[in-house]
Amino acid sequence: MFANDAKKLCADLQLARVNEAHGKADLSNYRAASVEVMEIMSRFAVVERASIDEAYIDLTDAVQKRIQELAGQPIPEGALKSTYVQGYPHPGPTDGQSKTKGEVRLLGLEQWLNSLHAADPQSRELQLTVGAIIVEEMRAAVEEETTFQCSAGISYNKVLAKLACGLNKPNSQTILSQSGVPGLFSQLPIGKIRHLGGKLGDSIKELLGVEYMGQLTQFTESTLQSHFGDKTGSWLYLLCRGIEDEPVKPRQLPKSIGCSKSFPGKTSLCTQDQVQFWLLQLCLELEERLKKDRETNHRVAKQLTIGLHRQGDSSGLSRVCALTRYEAQKISSDAFILLKSFNKAGAHQAAWYVVTGLTTRKCPISTLLMTSRSPP
């Protein structure tokens, strides 16, 4: 719903406004905040930045070290003050009694902790629990140092951790063990799974006649391979059982820097002048961000990717060229030369085939090595 429409329905509605620059939302403050949070989290474990507000964290080494320090002592509930456990509490004789969400959380956590084998350092459930303690501490550090609150998911892999993160927002965290996967997947739409929100997910639903992730367990690995190829079929066979092994790769910086803007409905671009104007606005923002990145992170971009969406096209179009210097006018000029090949109205026409989205991106970004040489 657009802001103006919301105000018509609720005249007293207070709306937060994002700053604007170059005719679009200015996310500079959000990017700066993201850097702060990533730096704090990196003090606890290996961090892979996934987006401006999302990261994957490999807690393996930190968990093993903490388990050694615990030396078999039981885990206190107080160390997990905002932790939920998916699939807990188990059904019991008190199910008919009315409970608050907080009471249900505590009951589930108590059942989970009572089931742990605290003396077995190889217990996967214990490892998840200790990981949750570390994440509680990490989130507390983020809030104390920045005032920002985070949600988290603790599990065995990226897919499950991302799902768990969204189960009990805001400002909470959820443990998702292997025992909790079947119940969660039984009602989880396939498109909610990481990597399955696009064409692959759609083809799975269409070819197999399924809707939920758990329904894939009825198919053999060979059946899935026959539909989606050996590699993807085997991956799906394991994934629907909660098994996935993509590693967390240490990275706190984005691999590319890009800007984009959508032009829906009446705002769509229909002339060459409009396309050139907005292309320059995107490139002005890119110039600023690239220069700041070069100064802060000592990296340079070598490649320019320009893309657009045209009205009626199901997918976007893109072209790539070398990036020669950080100058908006030059970048914009090079980008427009690439874009002209997409104009069905004709390269020399003032009219333009309707554009509904523009994207500029500089990638890959390579490290700029700073060296010095001693005088002879």
Query: Is there a domain that residue 111 lies in?
Result: yes
pLDDT at 60: 95
Residue 63 contacts residue 134 (beta carbons within 8 Å):
yes
pLDDT at 122: 86
Distance in angstroms (rounded) separating the CA atoms of residues 231 and 57:
26
Q: Which two tokens stand for residue 109?
A: 């956590």
Paired sense of beta strands 83-85 and 173-175, if any: parallel
pLDDT at 125: 95
Q: By C-alpha distance, which of 294, 276, 293 is closest to 335?
A: 276
229 in the same domain as 124: no
Neighbours of 77 (CB within 10 A): 13
149 in the same domain as 129: yes
Which residue range(s) make up the domain with 205? 186-239
Is residue 39 part of the annotated active site? The answer reads no
Burial class (CB in 10 A: 0-12, 13-18, 19+), 260: middle
Walking along the chain (376 residues) 10 residues at a time, the average pLDDT comes out as: 82 85 87 94 94 94 94 89 95 73 95 85 92 97 96 96 96 96 97 93 97 98 98 98 94 86 87 90 92 90 87 80 91 90 68 72 49 32
Q: By C-alpha distance, which of 160, 158, 152, 159 is closest to 179?
A: 160
pLDDT at 167: 96
158 in the same domain as 43: yes
Query: Is there a domain that residue 373 lies in?
Result: no
pLDDT at 374: 31
Measured N-to-C along each axis, helices 272-297 and 328-339 cross at an angle, to the nearest 10 degrees, of 130
267 in the same domain as 231: no
pTM to 2 decimal places: 0.81
352 in the same domain as 211: no
Question: Which CATH number is 91's domain given?
Answer: 3.30.70.270
Final residue of a domain: which of 148, 177, 206?
177
Which single residue is written with the structure tokens 């850097």?
A: 35
172 in the same domain as 263: no
Query: Is there a domain that residue 191 lies in?
Result: yes
Measured N-to-C along each axis, helices 221-228 and 230-239 cross at an angle, to the nearest 10 degrees, of 130
Question: Which CATH number is 232's domain given?
Answer: 1.10.150.20
Distance in angstroms (rounded) separating the CA atoms of residues 59 and 63:
6
Distance in angstroms (rounded) separating the CA atoms of residues 238 and 221:
9
pLDDT at 355: 72
Distance in angstroms (rounded) separating the CA atoms of residues 86 and 39:
29
pLDDT at 318: 87
Query: Is there a domain that residue 56 lies in?
Result: yes
Query: Is there a domain that residue 53 lies in?
Result: yes
How many structural domains is the chain composed of? 3
The residues, any chain, with a CB within 8 Å of residue 29's CB and separated by 6 or more, are 19
One-letter amino acid of 366:
S
63 in the same domain as 112: yes
pLDDT at 354: 66
Query: Is there a domain that residue 376 lies in?
Result: no
133 in the same domain as 89: yes
120 in the same domain as 214: no
219 in the same domain as 337: no
Alpha-carbon Rg of the chain, whole angstroms? 25
Cα torsion for 217, 223, 229, 233, to the nearest 10°? 10
pLDDT at 375: 33
100 in the same domain as 217: no
**Which listed residue (54, 137, 221, 327) is catalytic?**
54
109 in the same domain as 30: yes
Question: Which CATH number is 351's domain given?
Answer: 3.30.1490.100
Residue 304 contacts residue 324 (beta carbons within 8 Å):
no
User: pLDDT for 128-151, tens place per residue?
Assistant: 999 999 999 999 999 999 999 999
pLDDT at 359: 81
